[in-house]
Structure 1
Amino acid sequence: MENLLVAVPDTIPGAAPDEDAAVEHARSFLHALGVPCDSPGTVDTPRRMAEAYAALLSAPEFDPTTFPNDECYDELVIVKDIPVRSVCEHHFLPFTGVAHVGYLPGDRILGLSKFARVVEMFARQPQVQERLTVQIADWLVESLAPRGVGVVIEAEHLCMTLRGVQAAGTSTSTSALRGLLRERPQSRAEFLAVLQR
């Protein structure tokens, strides 16, 4: 069994969160927007705000357990409705939704719980949904050498629903297909059909 320790991609490589500085900057930011932080309900808001963003931007390291494909399984493996929580890099507002990840195994298979870890690893940084979708697909290709990979993400972006056009209830879908799921129409159709169930 091959195990790899995966480091979470950092916005600033090697930088550890400075919680005290984040709290003070949150307080200054709110002050600059005219939001008082001295009432009983807001006195701890800068700390809570800093902690919330630290949680949104931090993913734990994980061990992407892979196993030999001893059964020579050659059909689709699809994990649906994996929660996605990320922050739009343009407005720093959250976007949330689900990811559907599938692959056609090659010589190795991935532990099922690790699909959610891979999604989390790339989602816990300032993102755009298109890049997030591609990063997940490319990581699976590089780590597993499967015969095909498909990733579909459906998400609601608060930068679209709370500001600007304020189009509440809108959802954005992105996809990344690799290998046979891109090249072979019947495999692509099978993958997408499973997502409709």
Structure 2
Amino acid sequence: MKDLFSQIITQIGEDPTRPGLVDTPARAAAAFEYLTSGYKRTIEEVVNNALFPSDSTDMIIVKDIELYSMCEHHLLPFVGRAHVGYIPQGMVLGLSKVARIVDMYARRLQIQEQLTHQIAETIQTVTGAAGVAVIIEAKHLCMMMRGVEKQNSSMKTSAMYGAFRTSAATRTEFLSLIKS
């Protein structure tokens, strides 16, 4: 990957051997590997058996989980936060695992719509929840730095599964709780 970044630097008209750029290909390769490290993780590693029996059937919400991802269309970052809710049905997931699931999928080349559903589907599968809701709000540098260059634009996506899709009251409770 280092050699490829060196080629990119050359292709844009720069000299990869000049003092300020000499180590850039290696740094860029390391950064890109980190930014896409979600491909090297599995859900089994992330959850790490942190599922616990519970009689609770009340909504669980983890909100304001910051996320950093890369747009698969332009290889530019998008940055935002995820709000995740689920209604347990016999099992609860360790709190940090919700954020780790968000990170695992965010650290891949993505579109926000897909990311939202991947998180929801995974939490549904792992927990067997009666319902899962995920909302992501993000700012996309591909829209801010290039193209239409709209600095204050943001995108919101949602995925509602189970009770969050079938019950307006459940969905409304989730939406009101993430706003508070």
- Counterpart selection for 1:35 from 10, 14, 27: 14
Q: Distance in 1 between matches of 2:178 and 2:62?
A: 10
Contact 1:78–1:101 under 8 Å retained in 2 = yes
Aligned residues: 174
Matches within 5 A, 1:1-197: 22-59=1-38, 60=41, 61-62=45-46, 63-69=48-54, 72-197=55-180
TM-score between the two structures when normalised by the length of structure 2: 0.93
Q: By how many angstroms is 1:64 displaced?
A: 4.8
Structure 2 unpaired stretches of 5+: none
Residue 8 of structure 2 aligns with an amino acid whose one-letter code is F
Contact 2:56–2:90 under 8 Å retained in 1 = no
Residue 143 of structure 1 aligns with an amino acid whose one-letter code is V
Q: 1:17: which partner in 2?
A: none
Q: How big is each residue's C-alpha offset from its partner over 1:73-121, in whole Å with a ceiling of 9 and x where there is no partner?
A: 1211100111111111000111111111010110100000000110011
Contact 1:64–1:114 under 8 Å retained in 2 = no
Q: Distance in 2 between matches of 1:46 and 1:35?
A: 12
Contact 2:120–2:159 under 8 Å retained in 1 = yes
Residue 56 of structure 1 aligns with an amino acid whose one-letter code is L
Q: 1:19: which partner in 2?
A: none
Q: Which moved more, 1:60-69 or 1:120-129?
A: 60-69
Report SS of the residue matched to 1:74. coil
CA-based RMSD of the aligned residues comes to 1.0
Q: Distance in 2 between matches of 1:91 and 1:27?
A: 19
Q: By how many angstroms is 1:164 displaced?
A: 0.4
Q: By how many angstroms is 1:36 displaced?
A: 2.1
Q: Percent identity?
A: 44
Q: Which runs of 4+ in 1 moved over 4 A?
A: none
Structure 1 unpaired stretches of 5+: 1-21
